[in-house]
Amino acid sequence: MQRIEFDVFGRRLLVERTELGWRALYPGSEGKHRVASDIVIPPDTPESDLPRYLADLCHEWASPQRPVVRRLSN
């Protein structure tokens, strides 16, 4: 399973590739993560499009201090 970490306008978000497609997770303490049921990523979304897709979906999180979505790891 592939897991990618993003900084989405200042909030940490994990996106993992499962057998069924992409799943977004809110990282928690001690390695526990909560499924981000409010963030649905179509299974056919290419990995390279994830930052743009997350920016479109979560644009209300943007602020002048945190204006971008950045990939932190793969």
The band of 70, judged by pLDDT with boundaries at 50, 70 and 90, is very high
The DSSP code for 49 is G
pLDDT at 71 over 80: yes
C-alpha angle 66-71-74 in degrees, rounded to nearest 5: 155
Q: How many structural domains compose the chain?
A: 1
pLDDT digits (tens, 9 = 90+) for 4-63: 999 999 999 999 999 999 999 999 877 789 999 999 999 999 999 999 999 999 999 999
pLDDT digits (tens, 9 = 90+) for 29-43: 777 899 999 999 999
Residue 11: closest CA among 74, 73, 66: 66
Could you list the residue range(s) of the whole structural domain that residue 17 is in? 2-73
pTM of the model: 0.88
